Amino acid sequence: MPSPTQVVSLLKSQNVRHVRLYDADRAMLLALANTGIEVAVSVPNELLLGIGQSNATAANWVARNVIAHVPDTNITAIAVGSEVLTTLPNAAPVLVSALKFIHSALVASNLDGRIKVSTPHSSSIILDSFPPSQAFFNRSWDPVMAPLLKFLQSTGSYLMLNVYPYYDYMQSDGVIPLDYALFRSLPPNKEAVDANTLLHYTNVFDAIVDAAYFSMSYLNITNVPIVVTESGWPSKGDSSEPDATAENANTYNSNLIKHVINNTGTPKHPGIAVSTYIYELYNEDLRPGPASEQNWGLFDANGLPVYVLDLTGAGTVFANDTTNRTFCVAKEGADVKMLQAALDWACGPGKVDCSPLLQGQPCYEPDNVVSHSAYAFDAYFQQTGRSVGTCDFKGVATITTTDPSHGSCVFPGSFRKNGTVTNGTSLAPSSNDTSSACPPRYFCGSGSLTTSVIIGACVFLMTAVFL
């Protein structure tokens, strides 16, 4: 998968201004330094028990993963664990202590004013989410949720919530219409009405968010905002998942982005955008489970977009339409001898026309193996129709959307005309690199046209964008 510098290049090219890491990977934090991108780091679940039982352990973690990187890296939030109540219930008794210990370490370093502390929850902690006005958190978690919400309130933080209308739709046995889950327009008589408040709900997303707001109010908390830390739709599924399609994924994510950046808000809080992370940046080909689990990404493992987001009327939030301008070049730091062997193969058995690399020809300069192999790799990649596996060359080549043409040397895949080069960004290695399997990534938004991304701990398979 992409190196940290390649990931940051992608974030910058897409004007992503917020990113969440699923851990606090040092290489990623260093790559994000001096970019201005706001970063949320995470305490992995496996560290939660230790941090929740020891102030010193928490202070150590903050010193190593936060203080060591600020202010160069703009860390603005810490997510302590992930869906702890539903996936790691044995750690629930120390969850609030973990948040408090992490926050105390920030206070000691005078960083509590700029870095918020919270923990992401599954929306399944909300019982009876419709009508929203009657929703409440699972009462068995009241001993955790009540002090947790008071902590968020006292520190000016926010409730982190993962919202997946796809799963609500799939588990409803036909009760929830597909259009209602996808933000599609509904006639007034098809809208869901909360009989207690007479509020009309046109989509599942808003109903779940408002259910969380009402659930907090039953615990006497009314001024803690919500940030949706995960939301999305899979682009492919198996035979039991017929609605996991690229069309539906495009519809959901495009409509979600527009819903957020237009400051639509929810029926309970109209005009107040719900900042949301879209799950996820890359597909995860090795993720276990049904086919949908591997196909939540906006990009495939080769760095090409799975679909092009339809953002008409919402501005360009994520310009992932790179399908027709991808190139194959030498991978940064590749072994020179392996590059030379690959160059020789491309210009020989690979049947690439390497005459532009001869002395006196447009692509001779710079006269080095990196430059020459980049041209030969791209020529082979383009002549094979950019098919899967044709930009690998035993691991020394990588896909990029940055046009490598220079001077009078125009690469085969270039759209360059009249001296103009289309700019892009380096994405990912060849699709036949399946060495990594980990969590996903998102988009997120808070009413502006800058975007945010979440990057996961496992070799950066996970990214989310903050709208």
Active site residues: 83, 230
Q: Of the candidates 301, 143, 168, 154, which has an alpha carbon nearest to the alpha carbon of residue 223?
A: 154
At 118, give phi and psi (nearest 5°). Answer: -155, -175
- Distance separating alpha carbons of residues 347 and 231, to the nearest angstrom: 46
**Size of the chain, expressed as the number of residues it contains:** 467
Q: Of the candidates 58, 9, 49, which has an alpha carbon nearest to the alpha carbon of residue 31?
A: 9
- Distance separating alpha carbons of residues 276 and 318, to the nearest angstrom: 14
Separation of CA 81 from chain center: 17
Separation of CA 101 from chain center: 28
Q: Which residues contact 3 (CB under 8 A, 6 or more apart)?
A: 31, 332
- Distance separating alpha carbons of residues 398 and 432, to the nearest angstrom: 11
Neighbours of 376 (CB within 10 A): 29
- Distance separating alpha carbons of residues 419 and 416, to the nearest angstrom: 6
As a whole number of Å, the CA-based R_g of the chain is 24
* Residue 127 CB-half CA count within 13 A: 9
Contact (CB, 8 A) for 454 and 20:
yes
Separation of CA 220 from chain center: 33
- Distance separating alpha carbons of residues 246 and 190, to the nearest angstrom: 25
Contact (CB, 8 A) for 463 and 314:
no
